[in-house]
Amino acid sequence: MLVIPAVDIQGGRVVRLYEGDPSRETVYFNDPVEAALHWQAQGAPMLHLVDLDAATGRGENRKVIADIAQNLGVPFQVGGGVRSLEAAQALLALGAQRVVVGTVAVKAPGVLEAMLETLGPERVVVSLDARGLEVVVSGWTEATPLQVPEACRRFWAAGVRTLIYTDVRRDGTLRGLDQGPVRVVRAAWPGQLIAGGGIASEADLEALRGLGVEGALVGRALYEGRIDLGRWGRLLA
């Protein structure tokens, strides 16, 4: 199972948000390039970059992402405000292995289909963000009537093959994994599944592996030393 460090960028710095609230941030690195290289040195197989400002429409951190791309030697994916084919192509041109889309997948399925057709399913990942099983969009600020199992069916039918499920109720809280919703997603999603939200320990990673999840997005637990990325990688070797 891949353990993928999350590098969330807000105002040019690497932060973690409590339950996705932009006003409740903890800054871990002032230099995102330093953060990315730190996790690369610790053995990260890839990185997950999120432009939080672009996700909420308050700005963007494109130059920061470009700087990371120029210095990084491992694959990375980028999400946050990727709501057009042109935006996706621009991020891939910077060097991203794949783009991560959330809001557009729910609210503009035609755009998602254009991305999949033009870029290929190996370059487009859908982020399914939910409060338990209730799907949310627009930087987690907008609830929708869509439930996770139905979303999984729609995305698979559209041609998506890699899905990220984040339980936003727990993201950034270190409260531990809620296995119930993950089981529902795993049962509904036949493709590659990456999960995040509340992961606080290696026991949570073991639980995800036991559920058949192929990857874990980890943020605060890595930044605060609760999970040793290098040790976990050796355990899987």
| Distance from C-alpha of 129 to C-alpha of 108, rounded to nearest angstrom | 16
- Active-site positions read 8, 129
Strand-pair category, 142-147 with 215-218: unpaired
| Distance from C-alpha of 215 to C-alpha of 195, rounded to nearest angstrom | 6
State the distance between the two ends of the chain, measured CA to CA, in whole angstroms: 10
Pair of tokens at residue 92: 């891939």
Going by C-beta distance under 8 Å and a sequence separation of 6 or more, which residues neighbour residue 17?
Answer: 8, 10, 24, 25, 52, 171, 172
